[in-house]
């Protein structure tokens, strides 16, 4: 079974899909990518379940269309947020705040959101907000990329 991206953030650039094994799981995540012509593929979505891969990274695949490695990092920072049923009242506020700071997001489920924070240098305000939100109980936050 696969985990899919229904609305990849760079859908207009994507022209191919690669599967990425989800750690400690038998499932995989379908990554929307753009063929780059040199045997690499640029990630056009914000990963939900895999670690160490971010929007804009260049990746390689094997003959079965599974991701094998990150060839070149984009320098972007990926975070994941989880909202419990009780925390869902903070979703709109959180998304508005992230967008105001230049972040982009994709939803995997009603509770799980991946966030592209831009480059690490540009993401300082976003990361500060994520840490504050986590520490005040608005959501659970993890560094994913």
Q: Are 10 and 106 in contact (CB under 8 A)?
A: no
Supply the pTM of this predicted model.
0.92
- 123 pLDDT tier (thresholds 50, 70, 90): confident
DSSP classification of residue 8? -
Whole-number pLDDT of residue 1: 59
Length of the chain (residues) = 145
Domain residue ranges in the chain: 2-72, 76-143
pLDDT in tens, 67-119: 999 999 999 999 999 999 999 999 999 999 999 989 999 999 999 999 999 88
Domain 76-143 annotated CATH 3.40.50: no
84 burial type by CB count under 10 A (0-12 exposed, 13-18 middle, 19+ buried): exposed
pLDDT in tens, 38-64: 999 999 999 999 999 999 999 999 999
Q: Are 35 and 15 in contact (CB under 8 A)?
A: yes
H/E segment holding residue 140: strand 140-143
- 3 pLDDT tier (thresholds 50, 70, 90): confident
Nearest to 52 by CA among 35, 73, 32: 73
């Amino acid at each position: 079974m696969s985990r899919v991206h229904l609305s990849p953030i760079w859908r207009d650039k994507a022209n191919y899909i690669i599967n990425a094994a989800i750690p400690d799981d038998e499932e995989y995540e379908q990554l929307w990518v753009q063929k780059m012509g040199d045997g690499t593929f640029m990630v056009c979505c914000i990963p939900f379940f895999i670690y160490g891969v971010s929007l804009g990274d260049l990746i390689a695949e094997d003959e079965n269309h599974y991701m094998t490695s990150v060839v070149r990092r984009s320098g972007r920072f990926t975070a994941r947020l989880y909202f419990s049923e009780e925390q869902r009242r903070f979703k709109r506020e959180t998304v508005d705040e992230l967008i105001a700071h230049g972040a982009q997001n994709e939803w995997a489920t009603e509770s799980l959101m991946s966030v592209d924070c831009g480059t690490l240098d540009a993401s300082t305000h976003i990361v500060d907000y994520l840490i504050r939100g986590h520490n005040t109980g608005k959501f659970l936050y993890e560094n994913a990329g």
